């Protein structure tokens, strides 16, 4: 088995490294310390197609192999871990839609997500439930043709810009085992009752 990067992967890594060295590293410390959101960097990543790394080519994405995708996060994290977080939660949700979304959902959301015109996140964590997702308390139940959702999420990277926002909920709280009673519902920005209250600082992100 060959563990060396292919020539194409090496070229891709070099492009990423040049981008990080020229666009991210010079501003990372100042922006991180001040809490600024990196709108210009995000826009440039969108121009490079990086918001489509887990989206299929049929929807306008790069559909990267696993090694190339790892290179994206490795190189960007060396410049600024926060940027990797922005891209990571977006890419995870795009992959989820690719694997489990309906054809209608894919056609509706993935083209815009691939270009970065849309961004997304994934709302898992709650004030009382972190790594143990079986412990979430957010509930959802049917009301006619719709779902009613009641609960609170926290530590959701990209939440303020997410459209749509995938939200992990309990649809069958009595299910055994408990994880079988959970679902992910897609909530679009502007849905009544959806509020993003405040931004949270992250211990250890800002460095010395």
**Structure confidence by residue, pLDDT tens digits, 104-117:** 999 999 999 999 99
- Please report, for residues 37, 44, 87, the alpha-carbon distance to residue 40 in angstroms, rounded to integers and kept in the order given: 9, 6, 14
Mean of the per-residue pLDDT values of the chain: 93
Task: Judge residue 86's burial from the number of C-beta atoms within 10 Å of its C-beta, 0-12 exposed, 13-18 middle, 19 or more buried.
Answer: buried
Strand partners, 170: 139, 182
* H or E segment to which residue 143 belongs: strand 139-143
- Structure confidence by residue, pLDDT tens digits, 127-142: 988 878 888 999 999 9
Q: Report pLDDT for 67.
A: 96
Provide, rounded to the nearest whole percent, the portion of the chain with pLDDT above 90.
80
Pairing of strands 165-170, 146-150: unpaired
- Quick check: 43 pLDDT over 90? yes
Q: Where are the alpha helices (DSSP H) in the chain?
A: 7-19, 25-34, 39-47, 66-79, 81-100, 103-115
> Mean pLDDT across the stretch 168-178?
91
What domains can be seen in the chain, in order of their start residue? Answer: 7-115 (1.10.540.10), 133-187 (2.40.110.10)
Q: Report pLDDT for 177.
A: 86
Q: What is the pTM of this model?
A: 0.91
């Amino acid at each position: 088995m060959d563990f060396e990067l292919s020539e194409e992967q090496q070229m891709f890594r070099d492009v990423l490294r040049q981008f990080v060295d020229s666009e991210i590293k010079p501003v990372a410390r100042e922006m991180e310390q001040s809490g600024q959101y990196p709108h210009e960097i995000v826009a440039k990543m969108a121009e490079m197609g990086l918001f489509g790394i887990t989206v299929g080519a049929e929807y306008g994405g790069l559909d990267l192999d696993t090694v190339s995708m790892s290179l994206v996060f490795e190189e960007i994290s060396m410049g600024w871990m926060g940027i990797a977080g922005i891209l990571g939660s977006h890419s995870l949700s795009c992959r989820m839609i690719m694997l489990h979304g309906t054809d209608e959902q894919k056609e509706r959301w993935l083209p815009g997500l691939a270009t970065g015109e849309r961004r997304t996140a994934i709302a898992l964590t709650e004030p009382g439930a972190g790594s143990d997702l079986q412990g979430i308390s957010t509930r959802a139940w049917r009301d006619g043709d719709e779902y009613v959702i009641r609960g609170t999420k926290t530590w959701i990277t990209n939440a303020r810009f997410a459209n749509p926002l995938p939200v992990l909920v309990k649809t069958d709280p009595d299910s055994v085992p408990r994880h079988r009673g959970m679902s992910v519902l897609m909530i679009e920005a502007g849905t009544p009752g959806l509020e993003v209250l405040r931004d949270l600082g992250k211990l250890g992100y800002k460095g010395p």
